[in-house]
Amino acid sequence: MRDLDEGAFHAIMGVVRRVALAVEAVVPSERTYVLSLGSQQGNAHLHWHIAPLPPGTPYERQQFHALMAENGVLPWDEEQAGELAAHLRAALS
């Protein structure tokens, strides 16, 4: 983050917001988490996670619980992922 000037940071956040809104337009969600987490790669980088929460998720299963891989990852195949990507591209255009 320290390598970005304020304008670049705001530009990135604008893209993150656009993508999060596209996700909400395509995927039914009660709320959407937008977060940046470090990695165990040991290199300096910046990335954002956009995680929609399914409607009706109990509060105790939200926040950190919902983001832990051991609590479930969608078992999608390439075709399903491709369909989602196409819908997201359409929502972004």
In this prediction, residue 24 carries a pLDDT of: 95
Angstrom distance (rounded) from CA 70 to CA 85: 24
Q: Which of 42, 19, 41, 31 has its CA nearest to residue 91? A: 19
Higher pLDDT pick, 4 / 71: 4
Burial class (CB in 10 A: 0-12, 13-18, 19+), 60: exposed
In this prediction, residue 89 carries a pLDDT of: 97
Report pLDDT digits (tens) over 44-91. Answer: 778 888 988 888 888 887 887 777 777 767 788 999 999 999 999 999
Report pLDDT digits (tens) over 28-37. Answer: 988 898 988 7
Q: Are 34 and 16 in contact (CB under 8 A)?
A: yes
In this prediction, residue 18 carries a pLDDT of: 96
**How many CB atoms are located within 10 Å of the residue 62 CB?**
14
